[in-house]
Structure 1
Amino acid sequence: MKGSEERRRYETIVSRSDVIEMGPMQLIWRMGIEILHHHPNSTLDDYNNIYERIKHSGVKQYLKLCLEQSFHLLLTGRFHDAKQTLALAESWRHETARVAQKKVVTLIVAYRSLLDYIMWCEKKETSDADFKGSEPKAMHNHFRQASVGLKEVFQNPGVWDPFILSYIDMLEFYDDQEEALKVLNHYAYDNAFPHNPNAHLYLYQYLQRHDASPRTLLKVLKILHSLLPSHPLMIDYCALLLKSGKTKKALGVAVDMLDYACWSKNLDVWKTLASIAEKLQTEGDLKETVCKVMCNRIDWWPALHFTTFHAAQDQREQPELRRLKVPLARLLCPDMTLRYCQTEAAT
């Protein structure tokens, strides 16, 4: 029985307009694959026969066919065959068609490089080398092929998350920190690339692994906060801000997290907010700081966190959470009488 992932991958929903736009060979290709997918006795050879016949019937769909064929081979666990298919497509020399399908060519290079990385990982796991300088030649060849391809891919703006992680993993293995940092900075800060929170996440994780200074980490997390204020790393951001004496900024970051309902029951976030409030009380200007943070929230924050329903639910499910929230409710909403803070509201 076909797996659900494979079914979704090859399920074709063809509208009337799609059929009109398809050429004859593309229509045969799509219908042939769909028939094989639903045929109970279809085999991998049947799929490959369809792909090979259509590939050699013209050049317009050649690269797309190679890419789709490689995906099918991957789904069936034929990694080496998939890489060979992509390598042949990558070496295809029909310049007019290659230029017209530039994005497909980039994807082919990317996935071929990713498969080289997977094979590099396999060699690394099975290697008996005692130190990095003695890795097998085949392992280094996979690294070289993957790195050349990925460098080419990263010149094209886009979201390349799994490919970036693969390249960084190899660079770290070979202790090439300069190149790894260069790639991550390019991915995170090049304006040609789309805004991508993961780019800053990967940079932060790399810097953290290599003992970067708090100032450097704060710089990365500041941008991540501007892109995705609900990111889990904002708890780390608050901790770093507290250590660096930026308590008011930490308060804003913590409250920004709690603007999102997904964090409303998270004990760690409320503990962070409580720590910030405690430090603010020792620094003075507490009332003014809280007022600035809450002035645009006072109309809706109590309904998000401090209702009678929340009191009963928190008391029943997380008593510690309610103990944290009661003083914070009084601090953040000082001019409001909140039933959340009343004992009978929890019953």
Structure 2
Amino acid sequence: MGNLSESQLKTIQSSKSLKTRFESMHLLNVDRKNIQQVLKISADKSSADLDLTSKAILLRSQTGDYEEAFELASWSASSIPASRKVVVQSFLKNKQAPLLVHQIARMKRNEAGGLMTDYFAEGGDIKDIAEWLSAAGKILKTGAVPDDTDGFWGWVKDTAGSVVDAVVGAINTVADAIAAAGRNLADAISKVASWAQDKISDFVEAVMAAGKSVAMVLQEAVKKSLAVLNKFIQAVIEAGKKGIEVLNWAIGQAASTLKSALVKLEALLGSFTSLLLEVAKMATAKLNAVVKSLLDAGKKVIDFIYRLDRFAHDFAKRLVQELRKIGRTIGEIMTAVVNYSRLIARRAIEALREMGA
């Protein structure tokens, strides 16, 4: 369909309620190519008329073509600030904040910042951004668009690259827009603390794709509680991060936080041996605090000793030396050694002799 005639535009503008405006646009077979033309004539008339047209387009996008919402947001991004604010208000008043965030994600970086600034200025909640990020993270995990999105994410299939590349680009556009609006993506973490684990994991997947560090994510999570921290530790591991990244953050935290992180990591990694293999990657100066925390969490001297043959020689000796420094006696260590292999005995004895025993 080509441009609407002046007569058709007048017919649309003669409708004064949301119902009649929606119906007039339907009867005149308005499609997405006409959206910006209708918006311009409405904006030229008044803010109230622009608001009415915006609401009608949003209603149409819900019942038909989601791309009309993108045309609406795109038009506003390049319009005067007053018109842009009217459109943003229409999204928010109609409880379609996630839909607006979705459209912002598809824009050029220099356009997205202004819309995001208005989003917050008009009362937009970062929780709705977190909802969008969680949906985006879920797609990143599978590399496919779910069948039940009804076209909401369909645009990613039409992009030049892969679905994952398109979604990562959209996530970074949103992250940059948040920064341009003077806000911090970390603020969203506090909003998702009560979510179920799978949804938090999807959210963290997106946050990681935006380049945020494990330390930043966990630092925000621990402000809520240790239970919330454990959810986010699981999420960052599921996002492909290594246990050493969690450990390097946790070592600088309170003793209770370190202990909680170690217990959670052991559960996630599947065994105490796997946990110690991650600990082995840490700087030597940090080992004392970790061993002490593990003992406080209920580990016994024997739990360390009977695994000494599974680690590199130097790390095995350091474990024994840290046990001694923490206050475990030579008798305790040697009692644990006695029933195990010659290699374990040699490593334990060498470690103790190097300490002057």
* Class of the TM-score when normalised by the shorter of the 2 chains: 0.3 to 0.5
- Taking structure 1 as the reference length, the TM-score comes to 0.35
- Taking structure 2 as the reference length, the TM-score comes to 0.34
* Structure with more relative contact order (C-alpha pairs < 8 Å, separation 6 or more): 2
Q: Which structure's CA Rg is the greater one?
A: 2
